Amino acid sequence: MLTPFGIAIRKIRLDRGMRLIEMAQGLNVTSAYLSAVETGKKSPSTDLVTKIAALLDLKANEVTILNEAAERSDARTTLRQLPSEERRLFAGLARSLPQVDEEERERAMKQLEDLLKSLEKNKG
């Protein structure tokens, strides 16, 4: 199951047409390790996030999204902990991302960020 970090990194990787093995080679890690990070079997380190940002020449907003996702993933929030309906929602999203153009993705990310901010505001 993908973690928030796994979803974010896979989206960025797929947006750039990069296979997992290619990214792993660019980061000087094994593809097994990178896969384990994507699927939540391993937590993403700050060093890994920094290497990914450098390798992919990420924009500041992408780095922010990746860092926030890494923080949520490091807290051991995984899709396995979610009810099956919510897991299916995330799985469907991950499957559909390669078919969505950049403008739609940006609009969806903005809506998701707004929703998360609203949820955080209502929590506190």
Domain count of the chain? 1
Residue type, 46: T
In a domain, 115, yes or no: no
Average pLDDT over residues 70-79: 66
d(CA 4, CA 85): 16
Residue 21 has pLDDT above 60, yes or no: yes
Residue 45: count of CB within 10 angstroms of its CB: 12
85: domain CATH number? 1.10.260.40
Residue 66 has pLDDT above 90, yes or no: no
Residue 92 has pLDDT above 90, yes or no: no
In a domain, 122, yes or no: no
Residue type, 120: E
In a domain, 15, yes or no: yes
pLDDT interval class at 110 (50, 70, 90): confident
pLDDT in tens, 25-52: 999 999 999 999 888 888 888 899 999 9
In a domain, 123, yes or no: no
In a domain, 57, yes or no: yes
In a domain, 73, yes or no: yes
40 is in which domain, residue-wise? 4-99
Could you write out the DSSP letters of every residue in 20-59?
Answer: HHHHHHHHTS-HHHHHHHHTTSSPPPHHHHHHHHHHHT--
More confident site: 101 or 76:
101
SS3 18: coil
